[in-house]
Structure 1
Amino acid sequence: MNIHLARLNRDLKRKGERIKLRRYAGTNTQIFTEVDLLAFVRGYTPQELAAGSGIQAVDSFVILSPTALFAAQWPGGQQPLEPPFNPDPHLPKKGDHAIIQGRARTVEVASPIYDVDELVRIEMRVLG
């Protein structure tokens, strides 16, 4: 395991906050898949809230480890598309929901962070 990923997993076990990541499917009758995760959740600094950034004071910055997503095979049932359209189906995406402190929040952006081609963390901006 990558040293950066191992460190993140260790730090999350010691200081992480429990959240749920949820993806809905269907149009009329919506069903969802959900995974429990440890995450670091924080608000944005005044510098990050600068005019024109699009970030609101109620938004949060969330750091996840991919380890729990892969272990749970979340969200399940999806195959990657053929290149060049092959995003990893395990990654959160815009429109997914993060349940943080009992409140459903919407994922606006999810950015995968790689170290030498290995996914070592996921950073998200959640709204609300």
Structure 2
Amino acid sequence: MKLVVAGTMALDTIETPFGRAERIVGGAATYIALAAARYIRPIGIVSIIGNDFPADMLQALEQRGVDLQGVVRHLTRPSFFWAGRYHADMQSRDTLETQLNVLEEFPETVPQAYRSAEYLLLG
């Protein structure tokens, strides 16, 4: 494994002066892996998702060459959730709500295939 990303895969509700999006895919690890996959492979993710995380996003990650063996899916709890409101400058924001949910059970082990990664990025 060249790069391992350890961090959040989440669902977000985002408010801006221009609109609102409910329960969209978020999380630093999700988007770090998607962006990095354009430049470096193989990539693995260490994270935990809930029973509500969209399967099509997992497929999108895999289609871009991201290995998901380090992603644990909890079958009875929802995903980490964050809600925020961005200000007019689109740079500052307020957190409206945070629900840790499955994040309280973040995986304690890293797959063997990930342990010799050249790079580790925490997100």
Smaller-chain TM-score bracket: under 0.3
TM-score by structure 2 length? 0.26
Q: Which has the higher contact order (CA 8 A, sep 6+)?
A: 2
* Structure with the higher helix share, 1 or 2: 2
TM-score by structure 1 length? 0.26
